[in-house]
Amino acid sequence: MNNLNSELPADIVECKLNEFPSKFEEILSPSIVFERLGEAYEDLDIELFGEIEDYLDKALGTENFFTSWHQSDFSGGDGVRLVSFVDNVLKVEHVKKFLELLEGDYSEFAILCNVYEDFEEGELVGSLGVFSKLVLTSNTNVFCTKKHGKPGRLGLLNPNNDD
């Protein structure tokens, strides 16, 4: 985690994977914040969706959409944008960009990043919640994926994706 702390301009909170959903819910902005926005919420949500999509298209390639990353177009009205990644794709630079996006108008939103062994099997290997000034991460040091056969780094703790 020391590497991560020095690279991200945010507080880092680590928890176990099974604790992640409840911790994430605790940190989320209250739903009343988004209810008060009314129709403006939908506009902000669509804009943030586009910002994330544009960035990931450039950073990871449009051709990799659905093979290494995917952003859900569903909005539950709770200020959460959901982005899924295949193991070892999510990097510190992506999290930095997400933190930048969550400044200003989007500061009450959160980006939930779920990392899967692959999209076919659907096994969740880790989660990351990005908030305007905080990153919540599941206990990344305990991951071991079948694909790599050794402790996973989710790409996040290994910014250069070196194995």
Q: Is the pLDDT of residue 145 over 90?
A: no
- Per-residue pLDDT band at 144 (split at 50, 70, 90): very low
Does the pTM of the predicted model rise above 0.75? yes
Domain ranges of the chain: 2-142
DSSP letter string, 35-100: HHHTHHHHHHHHHHHHHHHHHHHHHH-GGGBTTTEEE-----SSSEEEEEEETT---HHHHHHHHH
Digit-coded pLDDT (tens) for 5-51: 567 778 888 888 899 999 999 999 888 888 888 889 999 999 999 99
Neighbours of 109 (CB within 10 A): 24
| pLDDT mean across residues, the chain | 81
Q: Which residues lie below 8 Å from residue 62, measured CB to CB, with a gap of 6+?
A: none
Place of tokens 């910014």: 159
Digit-coded pLDDT (tens) for 103-122: 999 999 999 999 888 888 77
Q: Do residues 119 and 88 touch, judged by C-beta distance below 8 A?
A: no
